Amino acid sequence: MSQGNSILDNVQWDADSGTITFKDVRYMLIRPDTVVDFQKAVEAEVGPEKCAEMMMAGGYTGGSRSSKRYKEVFNYTDEEIVAFMCKMGGEIGWGKFNVIKLDVPGKEFVVEVENSAFAAAYGEADWGVCHMIRGVMAGMAVGIFGGDVVSSETSCRSKGDDRCRFEIKG
């Protein structure tokens, strides 16, 4: 059974300008191994922890901007924007996102991701490698909780875990 993809079915492609947009936000398709090759090159230069911070920062900005933008476009509540962003994660091929816990007053958010594209491209590691997901989730959580958050990838497919798990606390 095929299922509609609310993102891909509504993407606008402009052949003249070579651009793809969703709700006026520009996107591009990129192979996960391209991102991961870059990640490994940066890790080799600055070490895995610093690289994680840098990739987190990129994801954070994207997550924060996207959640703000789509909250306005669709007039979503906090719960709805989390559900939308997690569904979108799957629709753009990052993996299958499952919201495990969302406690807005308690400022706690837990999401698990099956088949992370980042972990699949990376292969085995001694640490979590899905920093962009971690950052996107943190950026979204900041918009909802207000103030700073701590975002950790407590399980990762690359470490041999069944799935990746992200725990965000305000």
Q: Under the rule (CB under 5 A), what is the footprint of Zn ion?
A: 116, 119, 130, 156, 164
DSSP 8: G
E strand segments, the chain: 12-14, 19-22, 25-27, 96-103, 108-114, 150-155, 164-169
Q: Report in angstroms how near the CB of residue 23 gets to Zn ion at its nearest.
A: 28
Tell me, what amino acid is at 61? T
Closest CA to 115 of 59, 167, 163: 163
Q: Which is nearer to Zn ion, 119 or 140 (CB)?
A: 119
Q: Which is nearer to Zn ion, 81 or 119 (CB)?
A: 119
Q: Report in angstroms how near the CB of residue 25 gets to Zn ion at its nearest.
A: 25
Q: Report in angstroms how near the CB of residue 53 gets to Zn ion at its nearest.
A: 16
Q: Which is nearer to Zn ion, 82 or 117 (CB)?
A: 117
